[in-house]
Amino acid sequence: MDQIEYPKLGSELLAKQELIRATKGFMPPDEGVSLATALYGCNAATELPAIEIGSYAGLSTIYLGVAAQLQGRVLLSVDHHHGSEENQEGWDYHDPALKDPVSGKIDTLYLFRRTIELAALGDTVIIVVANSQKYGSTFNGEIGFLFIDGGHGHEQAQSDYESWVSKITVGGLLAIHDVFLDPSLGGQEPYHLYQRSLSEGFREITAQGSLRIMRKGSR
Ligand code: SAH
Ligand code: MG
């Protein structure tokens, strides 16, 4: 945490280290710190909400939530909590412990709620249990920050982009996770979203691991 340029953010994240280590998920610490730093440093329109697509058990939400809480900004974290394709049985990122024995479905909602509770982020994080595109299409208004980390299939990723990116205010930020330039390292859809944003008026400000963060220009 020493490398963080904002001491207050650094000490708040440090205080959550144990919880971060104990939380299931897919956000390496260096990328989580970059994500939190970008949100915290984004003082354009802190009255506008930040949106996270893909809560899972709340690992990335801790990083974003800590930054949002310090800013007095609200973070809406959206997930249907039944897992992406790669979280289903037979896929690489399946965790059998997350299967609800009654419905037979993956269910991460109770873990997510627990994480928000333990992280003391209940005043900041609004839990939205929904399909991200459906919710995006009914959400009216501008947003200050968007983190896309939901389904990575072609249709899913493109429709997350289409339903949410136009809502980002000028000067606001778009973060995309799992951007792999080399197809042998991972699926290409997030990379395509990243390229699309650069051709549609966004400018890259941060790259850390597979995380890319872009700022929306004024055109
Ligand atoms: N950000 C998390 C990881 C997210 S994994 C972390 O840091 O650990 C991707 C999540 O996207 C899964 O929890 C899955 O349920 C969710 N997801 C996939 N498609 C979705 C959709 N169409 N609507 C809502 N959530 C979706
Ligand atoms: Mg991810």
Catalytic (active site) residue 152: yes
> Is the domain covering 7-216 a CATH 3.40.50.10490 domain?
no
Q: Is 80 in the pocket of ligand 1 (CB under 6 A)?
A: yes
The per-residue pLDDT for 140 is 94
* Other C-beta atoms lying within 10 Å of the C-beta of residue 102: 7
Residue nearest atom 7 of ligand 1, based on CA coordinates: 60
Q: Is 136 in the pocket of ligand 1 (CB under 6 A)?
A: no
Atom of ligand 1 nearest to the CA of 177: 1
Q: Is 27 in the pocket of ligand 1 (CB under 6 A)?
A: yes
* Other C-beta atoms lying within 10 Å of the C-beta of residue 182: 8
Check whether 183 has a pLDDT greater than 80. Answer: yes
Instruction: Name the residue with tokens 């839990």.
Output: 127
The per-residue pLDDT for 4 is 73
Cα distance between residue 145 and residue 68, in whole Å:
10
The per-residue pLDDT for 45 is 81
| Strands 75-79 and 143-148, sheet pairing | unpaired
The per-residue pLDDT for 1 is 59
> Which ligand has an atom closest to residue 137 CA?
1
Cα distance between residue 31 and residue 178, in whole Å:
10
Q: Is 65 in the pocket of ligand 1 (CB under 6 A)?
A: no
218 CA to middle of ligand 2, Å? 28
Closest CA to 54 of 30, 84, 29, 21: 84
Chain segment 51-104, per-residue pLDDT in tens = 999 999 999 999 999 999 999 999 999 999 999 999 999 998 999 999 999 999
128 CA to middle of ligand 1, Å? 12
Residue 147 banded pLDDT, cuts 50, 70, 90: very high
> Which ligand has an atom closest to residue 189 CA?
2
Check whether 156 has a pLDDT greater than 70. Answer: yes
What percentage of the chain carries pLDDT values higher than 90?
A: 93
